[in-house]
Every structure is written in structure tokens, then in C-alpha cells.
């Protein structure tokens, strides 16, 4: 059942029960009033009077829109309500967006008096507001919270809007496209969704490719928020290969990110934690997943979340995660998660609270936010973050094996040197790059690319390329203990992101598990 249908059902029963004060909380006033009007329009309520007060229009009959009195003041409307409640039974007066009812003040206490007057004669006051009501008012009645439209409701909005414009402009969307569009627009008010759709119609045609662009409209709607930034993906980041196990796993999960799970108890995938040797493509994987799944990528910067005042960090993280939920479906990337959530040597308790908040969101959120967290030093992460049920899977990304290095060398050679390397050169480079991370290979070939740029392609000699590789000092040589420690941890506790050990190339020193570029 959609949130609207659920709220409608609750409001309907509260009106029937003659609850003296009913709070309808929503940031979408028009949608909330549509719901109230729908309840009032029920045939069995034809004999019951309903009035509505707004500051702009004064007091009116809800059904006929006829003004009820000349006086347009709130106090005048309350006097009118008092008169109705004392002179007839089962009157209902709706107050739209009255001010200052969130705390204990004269306005709230006056409304409480009015509610008691209503209660004496089966009257009801409905308060449509976007702020919480004072607890003294809440105690006298019941509340309904109308959330933003969910995917099913948004789908209906889209279909109805497009149906109205059928024949006006060419509309290429299929039912499936409308479903995807609904997923993208979840988290924005109905009015904003209609504005977005109207903008698509205004450009002359609604094309299938417009579905992907809806994420950008959402960005504009939510604007800048501390700690959360949209990562623009370049076409080169779509060309990725390698990471056999991870890719196979992601292909399976992709079906659930897009699947209609309304009729099942299954939840959308939560995300992965990628741990491993620095420079082996963990961050690249986040970009590759977003590119491959055609979802927007947002980066959560835990450093920017940290505030200097008490509670500021927690508030910022809560806001950022709430916004991520509203931006769904999307990929949320947390790079080097240990730097924000390590917390072992934190005396302030902030990190512990952030971890708790983060774990709660990870476990409870039902939005299609796929989390890709990366970590170089997983030992400093709190154990509760690593236990089963938090992330869907924990993958270990190791140094590339010879076969993967061959693939990486070919890819970066073509990208930076703009030539096809000879097989002999590649063989020698594969040998020289033993212990290199993908980033080391990229850096070496970038340097070669600079040489070609300055002196021309004809100046490039294989010896220069070999020397560049020979002079590169990878982390595995400058800090072998650290690398071995990371590999030791990952091999025992995580799923290899690369090829499974049994399928690894014979003769390789370690089972192959490299990350190269995605892309089949």
C-alpha cells in the first residue's frame, strides 16, 4: 500500500472516529489537501459540514468553496469553529498551515481549548502543517504523516501526466521507462516531479534517454549539501575490465537494483566493502559500478561531515544519509571509510556515534542506495561494520597477476601513448611490473605519454618505456611489510575480487585477483 493510500485510510478512520484534533503533516500542502478533500467527499459524509481556513482565502465551505464569513482572520475562523462545535454535532474545520503550533504558546493553547470544545460535541479540527504539533495538542488527538510519493505513486503521476500530453509531443517512454523514471523521482515532491516532466515535454519530445537525465534534475532540486557531492563520470571510466568475481556478483545484484520488488520480501542490495592494496582500483570500481549500472554516483566525504560543535557531525551525517535516500536510486561511494569511521582512538565519542548512526542506516534503509565503501586499512575499522548483514559482501582487491598486468598495460598504453604496444614490449613490461599496483602502471605509462606529447610519437623508443618501468618504485617494494599485512588479512577474511584461486593462471605466484578495467 502506498504511503498516500495508508495516510488516506488513517485519516478516513480518524474522521469517522471523530477524533477532536487530527494533525496532517506534510511538506506537500496541495497533496495533503487533496487527501483531506477526498475523505470529505465520501458519500457517507454527504450530510457532514466541512470548512477550511487558509490565511489567504479565509474560511470557506470545503465542498462548494463558498466563503463562510467576511472575517478572514485566524481568530475569527476559530470563533466560527467554536460556534459550529457548540451549535451542531460532527462539524469539521480544517486549518491550513496555522503558525506557531509547534510549542507551548498562546496559539497552541487556544487550539487545545478549541479541540476540547470540538470533543464535547463530536467535532473535529484538522490541522494541515509541515511542522510537528506541540505535544499538548498531539495528546488530544491523532496524527497522519504524508511522506513524499513512493515509486508506485510517482509512477501513477508520471503515467497520468504523459497520458495528458499524448499526441502533444512524441513520447517514446515504455512502461518500464516510466517505472525507472519513477524510481529516479522518488524523494522529490509531486509538484517538482510534474515540473521536471513538464520541462521534458517543453523541449519537444520525451525520449528514452531522458530517463537517465532525471538524476541531474534531482541534483538541482537538492542543491549543495555538506559532505555529499555528485561525481561526474567520464566515458573513460566506463571502460573497465578484470575483477571477475566482483563483476559477476555485481551483475547478479544489478537485477535487484532495477527489479520491481513490491510483491516480494526481498530488499534491494545494500552495497560492498572493497578492501585491499592501495592503488589497485578500488575507487575506480565505484565509478565503474555507477557507469555500468547507469546510476548517478555520489561521494560521501566523511572528512567534510566532521564539525567542530557538539552534535554537528552527527547532524551532518544524518542529513547526508537522508539526502542519499532521497537521491535513490544511486551509487554512494565512501572512499577510505576507515578515515572517518575508525574511532578506536577517539576520546570524544563522536566516531562511535557516527558508526552507530551509519550502521543503523545501512541496516534499515530500504531505498535503492548502493553503497561502495573502500578501505586500505581494514584493521582499523570497527568489527561491527564488517560482520555479515552490514555490507552484502566484502571483497579483497589484490595486486594484479601477470595476466591482469598485461591487460592494464595495454589499456593505459593505448590511452596515454596513443599507440598499440608490441607484444614483445608488453611481455617485458609484464615482467618488469611484478609487484606493481594498477596505479603504478598508470603512473609509469602517463610519464611515457608526456614524453610522446613533448617530442612526438617517432621519438619513442622501447628502451625509454622499459627504463621508466625500471625506475618505478611500487609500494610493494618501498613498504613490503604493510602490503603483506594487508594481503594476509584480505586473503583470509574476504572474497577475492579477481579470478577465483582454482581458475587462476598456472604459474602465477598468487591466485589472480586483479582489478583492471571493467567493460566486457
Partner 1 sequence: MWVTGGHYQAWADFLERWAAGERLDPAGLPRLVRDDFAADSWARLADRITGALDDRMVAWSRTLSRELTAAPDEFAAARALNHARWALPPIRELAGAPGLTDELRARLTGMVDDAIRSVQRQIDEQVWRMRSSGVPRELVEARLRTVRENPLTAVTRGPHVTGDGWAAADPTATPKRRVILD
List interacting residues with partner 1 (CB under 8 A): 15-18, 20, 44-45, 48, 55, 69-76, 79-87, 89-90, 99-100, 105-107, 110, 116-117, 119-122
CB of 109 to partner 1, least distance (A): 9
Sheet containing strand 92-96, strands side by side: 58-61, 50-54, 92-96, 124-129, 21-25, 142-145
Q: Given the complex with partner 1, which of 82 and 194 has the nearer CB atom?
A: 82
Question: In 3D, which of 281, 269, 397, 283 has the Cα closest to residue 337?
Answer: 283
CB of 9 to partner 1, least distance (A): 14
Question: In 3D, which of 274, 243, 272, 276 has the Cα closest to residue 486?
Answer: 276
**421 DSSP 8-state letter:** P
Q: Given the complex with partner 1, which of 37 and 428 has the nearer CB atom?
A: 37
CA 467 to chain centroid, in Å, comes to 46
Using alpha carbons, list the distances in angstroms from residue 475 to 30, 284, 499. Answer: 60, 18, 23
CB of 106 to partner 1, least distance (A): 4
Question: In 3D, which of 173, 177, 175, 193 has the Cα closest to residue 185?
Answer: 193
Cell numbers 505513486: residue: 153
Q: CA quadruple 413, 417, 423, 429: dihedral positive or negative?
A: negative
| Cell, residue 247 | 563483476
Q: How far apart are CA 286 and CA 299, in angstroms?
A: 10
Using alpha carbons, list the distances in angstroms from residue 20 to 92, 111, 113, 119. Answer: 9, 11, 11, 5
Q: Given the complex with partner 1, which of 99 and 450 has the nearer CB atom?
A: 99
CB of 205 to partner 1, least distance (A): 47
Q: How far apart are CA 396 and CA 262, in angstroms?
A: 33
CB of 23 to partner 1, least distance (A): 18
Q: Given the complex with partner 1, which of 67 and 462 has the nearer CB atom?
A: 67
Contact 367, 325 (CB under 8 A): yes
Q: How far apart are CA 302 and CA 337, in angstroms?
A: 8
Q: Given the complex with partner 1, which of 45 and 254 has the nearer CB atom?
A: 45
| Cell, residue 395 | 571483497
Q: What phi and psi values does residue 381 have, to the nearest 5 degrees?
A: -80, 145
Q: Given the complex with partner 1, which of 87 and 345 has the nearer CB atom?
A: 87
Q: Given the complex with partner 1, which of 16 and 363 has the nearer CB atom?
A: 16
Q: Given the complex with partner 1, which of 47 and 507 has the nearer CB atom?
A: 47
Query: In sequence order, what are the residues at sequence separation of 6 or more whose Cβ sits closer than 8 angstroms to the Cβ of residue 60?
Result: 51, 52, 53, 66, 67, 68
CB of 4 to partner 1, least distance (A): 22
Q: Given the complex with partner 1, which of 36 and 274 has the nearer CB atom?
A: 36
Tell me the angle at which helices 462-470 and 438-455 cross, rounded to the nearest 10 degrees.
140
CB of 47 to partner 1, least distance (A): 10
Q: Given the complex with partner 1, which of 46 and 224 has the nearer CB atom?
A: 46
Q: Given the complex with partner 1, which of 113 and 485 has the nearer CB atom?
A: 113
Contact 97, 73 (CB under 8 A): no
Q: Given the complex with partner 1, which of 20 and 421 has the nearer CB atom?
A: 20
CB of 50 to partner 1, least distance (A): 13
User: Is the preceding peptide bond at 329 cis, omega within 30 degrees of 0?
Assistant: yes
Q: Where are the alpha helices (DSSP H) in 49-204?
A: 74-87, 106-119, 135-138, 151-164, 175-185, 190-202
CB of 143 to partner 1, least distance (A): 18
CB of 102 to partner 1, least distance (A): 13
Residue 47: other Cβ atoms inside 10 A: 6
| Cell, residue 406 | 598485461
Q: Given the complex with partner 1, which of 100 and 135 has the nearer CB atom?
A: 100
Q: What phi and psi values does residue 93 have, to the nearest 5 degrees?
A: -120, 130
Q: CA quadruple 239, 245, 250, 252: dihedral positive or negative?
A: positive
Query: In sequence order, what are the residues at sequence separation of 6 or more whose Cβ sits closer than 8 angstroms to the Cβ of residue 79?
Result: 71
Vertex 288: Cα angle to 326 and 383 (nearest 5): 70
CB of 17 to partner 1, least distance (A): 5
User: In the beta sheet, which residues pair with residue 21?
Assistant: 125
CB of 114 to partner 1, least distance (A): 9
CB of 66 to partner 1, least distance (A): 16
Amino acid at each position: 500500500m502506498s504511503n498516500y493510500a495508508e495516510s488516506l485510510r488513517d485519516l478516513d478512520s480518524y474522521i469517522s472516529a471523530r477524533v477532536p484534533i487530527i494533525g496532517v503533516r506534510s511538506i506537500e500542502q496541495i497533496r495533503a489537501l487533496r487527501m483531506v478533500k477526498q475523505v470529505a467527499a465520501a458519500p457517507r459524509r454527504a450530510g457532514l459540514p466541512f470548512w477550511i481556513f487558509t490565511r489567504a482565502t479565509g474560511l470557506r465551505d470545503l465542498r462548494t468553496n463558498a466563503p463562510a464569513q467576511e472575517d478572514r482572520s485566524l481568530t475569527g475562523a476559530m470563533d466560527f469553529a467554536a460556534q459550529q462545535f457548540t451549535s451542531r454535532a460532527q462539524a469539521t474545520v480544517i486549518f491550513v498551515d496555522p503558525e506557531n503550533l509547534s510549542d507551548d504558546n498562546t496559539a497552541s493553547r487556544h487550539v487545545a481549548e478549541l479541540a476540547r470544545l470540538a470533543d464535547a460535541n463530536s467535532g473535529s479540527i484538522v490541522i494541515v502543517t509541515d511542522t510537528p504539533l506541540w505535544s499538548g495538542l498531539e495528546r488530544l488527538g491523532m496524527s497522519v504523516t504524508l511522506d513524499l510519493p513512493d515509486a508506485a505513486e510517482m509512477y501513477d503521476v508520471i503515467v497520468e501526466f504523459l497520458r495528458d500530453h499524448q499526441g502533444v509531443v512524441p513520447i517514446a517512454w515504455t512502461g518500464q521507462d516510466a517505472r525507472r523514471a519513477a524510481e529516479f523521482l522518488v524523494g522529490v515532491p509531486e509538484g517538482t516531479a510534474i515540473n521536471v516532466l513538464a520541462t521534458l515535454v517543453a523541449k519537444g519530445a520525451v525520449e528514452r534517454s531522458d530517463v537517465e537525465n532525471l538524476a541531474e534534475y534531482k541534483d538541482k532540486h537538492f542543491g549543495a549539501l555538506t559532505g555529499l557531492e555528485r561525481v561526474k563520470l567520464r566515458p573513460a571510466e566506463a571502460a573497465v575490465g578484470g575483477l571477475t568475481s566482483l563483476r559477476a556478483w555485481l551483475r547478479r545484484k544489478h537485477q535487484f537494483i532495477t527489479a520491481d520488488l513490491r510483491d516480494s520480501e526481498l530488499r534491494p542490495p545494500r552495497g560492498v566493502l572493497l578492501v585491499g592494496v592501495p592503488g589497485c582500483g578500488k575507487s575506480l570500481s565505484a565509478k565503474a559500478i555507477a557507469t555500468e549500472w547507469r546510476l548517478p554516483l555520489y561521494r560521501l566525504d566523511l572528512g567534510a561531515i566532521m564539525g567542530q560543535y557538539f552534535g554537528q557531525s552527527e547532524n551532518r551525517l544524518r542529513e547526508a544519509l537522508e539526502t542519499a535516500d532521497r537521491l535513490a536510486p544511486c551509487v554512494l561511494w565512501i572512499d577510505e571509510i576507515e578515515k572517518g569511521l575508525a574511532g578506536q582512538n577517539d576520546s570524544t565519542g563522536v566516531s562511535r556515534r557516527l558508526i552507530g548512526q551509519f550502521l543503523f542506516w545501512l541496516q534499515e534503509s530500504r531505498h535503492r542506495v548502493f553503497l561502495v565503501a573502500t578501505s586500505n586499512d581494514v584493521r582499523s575499522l570497527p568489527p561491527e561494520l564488517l560482520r555479515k548483514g552490514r555490507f552484502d559482501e566484502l571483497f579483497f582487491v589484490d595486486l594484479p597477476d601477470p595476466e591482469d598486468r598485461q591487460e592494464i598495460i595495454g589499456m593505459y598504453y593505448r590511452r596515454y601513448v596513443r599507440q598499440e604496444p608490441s607484444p614483445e614490449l608488453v611481455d617485458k613490461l609484464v615482467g618488469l611490473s611484478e609487484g606493481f599496483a594498477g596505479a603504478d602502471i598508470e603512473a609509469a605509462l602517463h610519464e611515457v605519454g608526456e614524453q610522446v606529447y613533448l617530442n612526438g610519437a617517432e621519438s619513442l623508443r622501447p628502451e625509454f618505456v622499459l627504463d621508466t618501468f625500471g625506475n618505478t618504485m611500487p609500494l610493494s617494494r618501498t613498504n613490503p611489510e604493510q602490503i603483506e599485512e594487508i594481503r594476509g588479512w584480505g586473503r583470509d577474511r574476504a572474497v577475492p575480487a579477481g579470478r577465483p584461486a582454482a581458475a587462476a593462471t598456472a604459474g602465477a605466484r598468487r591466485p589472480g585477483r586483479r582489478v583492471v578495467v571493467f567493460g566486457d
